[in-house]
Amino acid sequence: MSIEVSTMVAEGSKMVTSYGDGLFRLGEETITGSILMFPEAVYSWNVSSVDDITVESFAPIIEAAETVEILLLGMGNRLTRVPMEWRQALKEHGIVIEPMDTGAACRTYNVLLSEGRRVAAAIIAV
């Protein structure tokens, strides 16, 4: 089942318009599987569950640290504890990680983007 998400961000910015059934819709674009989102770009993320995530999974986010202050981590259908090593690895680059379920990550990403925040998202497909 696809779930619609409010879209209220500036034209040209990447935002989630719906998610579910293992994919994300970003306007007319559809991406199957988990994603890494930045305001101007979206990439496939080779993660299918929280158990697949390592510090190295965040390398693209860390590489973009100059443009990211908040990383929303969409953890699938349920929230789990974020290991301290993930927090520390991101914090060393000035990035705060905010864990939440995938739906909340999609909605929060769009809101923070509309506020002009320096946000990125790593979201596990549901």
Q: Encode pLDDT of 47-61 as tens digits.
A: 999 999 999 999 999
User: Which structural domain range is residue 46 located in?
Assistant: 3-123
Residue from 78, 36, 79, 80 nearest 56 by CA = 36
Q: Buried b / exposed e across 81-112, counting CB within 10 Å, b at 16+?
A: ebeeebeebbeeeebebbbbbbbebbbbbbeb
CA gap 43, 61 in Å, rounded: 11
C-alpha 38, offset from chain centre: 8
Residue 27: the pLDDT is: 86
Overall number of domains in the chain: 1
Residue 26 has pLDDT above 70, yes or no: yes
Burial class from Cβ neighbours inside 10 Å (0-12, 13-18, 19+) for residue 28 reads exposed
115: CATH: 3.40.1230.10
Residue 12: the pLDDT is: 72
Residue 101: the pLDDT is: 97
